[in-house]
Structure 1
Amino acid sequence: MVGNIDGDNEERGFSSSLISASTIKEATMAGAQKFLDYARIIVAPKSQKTIDQRFLEFGVNAVEIDVNTGNLFKDDKYRNWAQSVAVAYEEDDVGAEVAKISTLLSHYDKDTVISMLAAGKNVPDTKVIVENLEIGLLIKWTADDTRTGDIFKLLQFDKDESAILKNPLLRIWIHYASEMGKKPHEVLYEKLITLYGDKELAILLAMAKNDKATKKIAKRLQKLQMKEWQDGDVRVVDIYTLLELGGKAPTELLTSPMLSTWVSYAKMRGMKPYDMLFSAMMKSMDDIGLARVLVAAKRDGTNAKTVRKLQDRQLEEWLKDQKSGSDVLQRLGLKERGNTMFRSRVWRTWVSYMIKLEEQKQGPKIELNLPLALALVLKKEMGGKALLELVTTARDVPETRKIAEWLERSVWKVTRQTPDEVFDLLKLKKNGVESVEFKSWFNYVTQLKLSKEITDELVHISVLKKRFGSGLQKILEKERTRSFKWHDEDRKKVFTELLESLEKLKLLKKLKRLKSLEKLEKLEMLEKLEKLNSLEKLEMSELLKLLKQKKGPMKRIWAWLYNNLLSMKERLSKIWRALVVKVRKRFRNEKV
């Protein structure tokens, strides 16, 4: 309500800021009751008389106005009066603007006021002042049920058509008119269709739908237009022609803002627009041609939903024809791309088909190992060597690096690469354990261990020890320290695990050395026993040989000694052999 403007009100600065969106929203949410309040303010004799008196007291009526420059709003007399109104209305900024514009309309005709507002809006010093007054005028006229012609004149519908739906006053009017129980969208549609006609309005709304600032209102108006088409039984093909979609090249068609209008209308009439588009396009191009067109249109983004539907339609057609992953790879010409395969525009199309193919085989609830499925098909089509070269090359290209990293572990697996071979592929001796490549290698070797393809629990550290030698421990400790500094828990875990494995490896080597020494000592003892056995045999044989050669009177005695020694030799030999066998068996059967 209007405050006491005759008393000594506290001065406050003249407002140079636009009424905030929140203030307008609050007034809008207040609804019809707020409008009744504004109406009472405007028509209350005492209030109007007081405001008019102030208008005259400040001499605003004496200012010689120029409707072409909007000079009134720069004049000090007007500004002083406007300030007094603002102070009187305290925190009610919207009410103050309604009161100001009501007073101006009581002194000047509406066409003069609209002309002054239009001129003042083009002057930087008065632009915000005028915009606030426009809001007040729009609210007053909406509450007064003023003819829409005057409102549309204020909204400058005769100006640039591309800016019509962006006018902030239009949104404010729609809000307030809706609260007053009117149908602003229907009124606005009738005005627009009269101004532009069916075709031009359809194009204007299609363009406006792609602008965030006008998307919401454009959709509402477009529904009204399509409802009118439906009520008039306008054929879908006629709208296709009206929107000038016929005869366009596929890429041009899929990037046309008008296409979404036709799709929406076709759906409204119960048709299947995506099937219609797909069938028409397949008549003029092959699989790879359509796939490339769809990828290009998807990047444009104008008709993202339609393009996505057409891509799905193409994949479903391949599934229906039971095309394998190899079949589609060849159809899309990817095999011929060699090391540039990942840079092809249709690479993602093939990946999308492989997802659908694997889901069909395993069911949608099964967690897919998509990289492995891709790697198996690629190996079959390219061979292991070419596939490895593809992934290795792609790693060095920023554009394809992520694809290579996503796929490489599966490629190494299907090509049966050992930890040592992958170490060399990634040039880890040069790049070091601090590189991102090291993580790929570590994860791959871990995967081999988990799948039981490698049983050596210390395979990580064994390979690293072989490559970095005695300096490995310092390297690992340095990287673990860095991980603590960077608060990288995953990296800290990896290098802690590697250091623990290194200690285990050292301990195992010590145990092996001890066992080797023990084994060596046992073998040396065995060799000595065998050597002693040989010497004993040699000495006994020599003695018998000498006794056999003796002659003369002692021959009988020598013969007796010879026979007894021979018998002794046989007995001793049996004992000796048994002893040697027993010792040998004991040493050789013992685990080393």
Structure 2
Amino acid sequence: MRARDSDDIVATYIWSAKRDVVGSTIAQKVEDVLLDSWMPQSADDVFKLLKLNTGGSNLFNYPRLSSWVSYVTKIEGKQADEQMYTVLKAAYGDDELATMLAASKQFFALGDVAKRLEEVQHKVGLIEGETAQRFFTTLKLNTQGDKLFESPALHSWVDYVTKLSPKNADELMLSALKTSHKDDFVLAKMFIAAKESSSTKAIAGKLEQAQVSDWLRNEKSADEVFKLLKLDDGVDDLLTNPLLSNWVIYVEKLNENPYSILLGKLKMSKLTATDDKLVEMIMKAKTEASTSSIAGKLEAAQLEKWLSEKQTAAGVFKLLKLTDEGTFLLWRSHLRAWVDYVTKLDAKNPDDVILSVLKPYYNTDTKLASMVLTGRSMSDDMSAKFVKIILNKWLGEKKSADDVFDFVLKESRDQALQSRYLDTWVSYVKKVDKEEPYKTMFLVLQKRFDETELKYMLSHAAESSRTEELGWRLIQEMWLSGKESAQNVFSRLHLDRVGSTLFKQPDLAMWISHVTRLDAKNADKKMLAVLQSFYSKKQLTKMLSAAKEVDETKAFATRMEKHLLLSQGK
């Protein structure tokens, strides 16, 4: 084989063969012969013989490196790793070697060799007294600029410094970094970016903490660090600045309230110079995942500021310029801050305070309802809160179902049952009349619409998925009001067309309810009479027997069967 190929090619063949289960034993024997043929050449000589000195950063990708490792191990024994390191250092230098080793530690074939050689490199550095700074320079990390955390050699340096000084490693690393990156702002930005990568997140977090400790050691004020991080250069976008969290952490270490200070900083921006603009910005930031936490704390600081200034609920309402919002009040994001403030002022009766402040601006129930209902399109908890407030107000004032219909639905005219505000009126009627709310609703409608209009409205409501249940309940009230017979309602519900599946029909329950409410005393007799007009004795007996086996129809079928037997004189 060697007659045809050079040693480096033969070594490559051997490496490939050793990976094959069948050929591995033979390959090992061939390699042993090859290694013996190199004796007594030095590790450096064989390194060059295999042309490994030209491998560059791809050295650990060369299959023939494996044979060299085997040879050095054979001739050097326990000192093999040190000898290999010496040869590699001479060929590539510490910086390139560190990068190669760091990148190669993950390789399946020679990864363990790379790990051992890195250990040797660190051991030599420790013996020679390499400082964190010197090793940083040796690995040429000082030339990486803002790409520092992308360098594989960084991990070797971090491991080295950790061995050099386990207790003060973070401090030493920060000190070394500051020699090549003298600007705290640049370093902080690098740490933030490095935290986005899983491979550098941990070390970047530790260096951030070391930077904070460094500021504390040098007694930097909150304002000084604010300027160091150049946060004063972009106050308009302050809440979205990723470095803001670094400053907040530092100020909290000073035992100061960062959010109170921040409020003052934000007031320096033209965009947030007034309370209404400031709070609007804070409330908007609360809806964004990246700023919601800090915005929530800023809001709390603002509320505390108003409390310390002894601001009234009405005063803050004016400060936030909510006085001229009219029907669009609930559309304003900073309304939430005002409600939160009112709740702080009077935790027991916030709703009463809210209504008292709103009264001069919404001096009729119609105006109040219009504002609240316009805000319902926002579909949030604040809208629901205000709906609850006005419903409770009307309940307390004993407003009738008629009154609230006029407040809420009068303008909708014959489209009342399609109005998006319908639910508010329905909810109120159910609170006012817990016994027969649908009867009350029907009576209110009956006063306002003629028979033709009302029938159309109820029919249309029953056909809509949103109001289907309400529509049918109101239709039932219309039938009761008109004293519709059991026979007529049976036909109106199309139960006369279902044959033997009658007891499986969902509308059967409505028919039973109607007849029972119309004439409770004679309901069963009337219903049996209707059934007998559509089914023979044999059919009815069979249907009732089957219906008695179903929980939902058991009671009704049992009663019908009893009356059927009585009607036959048995």
Q: Which residue of 2 aligns with 1:389?
A: 370
Shift of 1:357: 2.9
Match of 1:315 in 2: 303
Shift of 1:112: 0.6
Aligned residue type for 1:105: Y
**TM-fit CA distance, 1:185:** 1.4
Q: Deviations over 1:207-246 (max 9, x none)?
A: 4587475565444334434444444444554444433345
Further displaced range: 321-330 or 127-136: 127-136
Cα distance in 2, alignment partners of residues 173 and 120 from structure 1? 12
| Deviation readout 1:470-504 (Å, 9 max, x if unpaired) | 99799659999xxxxxxxxxxxxxxx999979855
User: Which residue does 1:141 correspond to in 2?
Assistant: 121
Pairing partner for 1:346 from 311, 314, 334? 334
| Deviation larger for 218-227 or 132-141 | 132-141
CA contact (8 A) 1:70 1:119 kept: yes
- Find the aligned partners of 2:268 and 2:384 in 1 and give their Cα distance: 39
Selected match of 1:197 from 182, 185, 199: 182
- Whole-angstrom CA distance in 1 between matches of 2:472 and 2:135: 72
Q: Match for residue 411 of structure 1?
A: 390
C-alpha spacing 1:352/1:476, structure 2 compared with 1 (3 Å): closer
Deviates more, 1:319-328 or 1:172-181: 172-181
Question: For residues 244 and 151 of structure 1, what CA distance do their matches in structure 2 show?
Answer: 31
Tell me which amino acid in the other structure corresponds to 1:199: D
The structure 2 residue matched to 1:251, chosen from 236, 261, 266, is 236
After superposition, the Cα gap between the structure-2 partners of 1:394 and 1:200, relative to the gap in structure 1 and judged at 3 Å, is: closer
Q: Does 1:508 align with 2:517?
A: yes
Query: How has the CA–CA distance of structure 1 residues 152 and 173 changed in structure 2, closer, same or farther, with 3 Å as cutoff?
Result: closer
Task: Classify 1:215/1:72 alpha carbon distance in 2 versus 1 (closer, same or farther; 3 Å).
Answer: closer
> Contact conserved, 2:276 with 2:321, CA < 8 A, in 1?
yes
Larger RCO, structures 1/2 (Cα 8 Å, 6+ apart)? 1
Change over 3 Å in CA distance of 1:173–1:223 after alignment to 2? same
Task: Kindly indicate whether the alpha-carbon contact (under 8 Å) linking 1:206 and 1:261 is maintained by their aligned counterparts in 2.
Answer: no
Matched letter for residue 115 of structure 1: E
1:164 aligns with 2:148: yes
* Partner-residue secondary structure (3-state), 1:189: helix
AA of the residue aligned to 1:418: A
Alignment-derived partner of residue 173 in structure 2: 188
2:506, 2:318 → 1: CA distance?
45
Q: Is the 8 A contact 2:251 2:257 kept in 1?
A: yes
Q: Structure 2: give runs of 5+ residues left out of the alignment.
A: 1-13, 23-34, 72-77, 446-456, 474-504, 524-570
For residue 410 of structure 1, report the CA deviation from its aligned partner.
Answer: 3.5
SS in 1 for 2:435: coil
**Cα separation, partners in 2 of 1:238 and 1:395, compared to 1, 3 Å:** closer
Counterpart AA for 1:411: I
Amino acid at match of 1:385: T
Paired residues in the alignment total 425
**1:77-123: per-residue Cα shift (whole Å, max 9, x none)?**
236778x89xxxxxxxxxxxx99986752432266165377589999
CA deviations over 1:259-308 (Å, ceiling 9, x no partner): 44444444444544443444565588332132234345556777765544
Q: 1:210 to 1:326 in 2, by over 3 A?
A: farther
What residue number does 1:29 align with?
Answer: none
Residues 1:221 and 2:207 are matched in the alignment: yes
Higher radius of gyration, 1 or 2: 1
Match for residue 437 of structure 2 among 415, 439, 459 = 459
- The percentage of aligned residue pairs carrying the same residue is 18
Would the aligned equivalents of 1:121 and 1:127 in 2 still touch at CA under 8 Å?
no
Q: TM-score of the superposition, structure 1-length normalised?
A: 0.53
State the Cα deviation string for residues 298-330 of structure 1 (Å, max 9, x = none): 567777655443322221232344444343233
Cα distance in 1 for residues equivalent to 2:140 and 2:429: 71
Whether 1:329 aligns to 2:338 is no
User: What is the SS of the residue equivalent to 2:182?
Assistant: helix
Alpha-carbon separation, structure 1, partners of 2:55 and 2:303: 63
What is the deviation of 1:250? 3.8
Q: 1:121, 1:128 within 8 Å by CA — same for their partners in 2?
A: no
244, 261, 274: which one aligns with 1:286: 274
Report the CA distance shift for 1:319/1:267 in structure 2 as closer, same or farther (over 3 A).
Answer: closer
Cα–Cα, structure 1 residues 324 and 101, in superposed 2: closer, same or farther, change >3 Å? farther
Alignment TM-score, normalising by the size of structure 2: 0.55
Q: What letter matches 1:460 in structure 2?
A: Y
Paired amino acid for 1:220: K
**Equivalent pair of 1:66/1:116 in contact (CA under 8 Å):** no
Is 1:108 the counterpart of 2:108 in the alignment?
Answer: no
Aligned AA for 1:242? L
- Given that 1:334 and 1:347 are in contact with CA atoms closer than 8 Å, whether structure 2 keeps it comes out as yes
SS of equivalent residue, structure 1 residue 414: helix
Q: Aligned-pair distance for 1:505?
A: 5.5
Which string of whole-angstrom CA distances, capped at 9 and with x for unpartnered residues, describes residues 418-466 of structure 1? 3883995898998989x998877665544x1xxxx33x51213664797
Shift of 1:71: 4.7
Task: Provide the aligned C-alpha RMSD in A.
Answer: 5.8
- Match of 2:324, SS state, is helix
* 2:280–2:333 Cα contact (<8 Å) kept: yes
The 8 Å contact of residues 339 and 393 in structure 1, kept in 2 or not, is answered as yes
Relative to structure 1, the CA distance from residue 315 to residue 402 in structure 2 (aligned partners, 3 Å threshold; closer, same or farther) is closer
- CA deviation profile, 1:317-374 (whole Å, cap 9, x unmatched): 3234444434323321234233443333423322322332342x46xxxxx8x6x875
> Alpha-carbon deviation of 1:189?
1.4
**Equivalence for 2:64:** 77
Q: Distance in 1 between matches of 2:108 and 2:102?
A: 8
Please list the CA deviations of residues 4-62 of structure 1 after superposition, one character each: whole Å capped at 9, or x if unmatched.
Answer: x99x987469xxxxxxxxxxxxxxxxxxxxxxxxxxxxxxxxxxx99x99998xx7653
Aligned 8 A contact 1:205 1:219 in 2: no
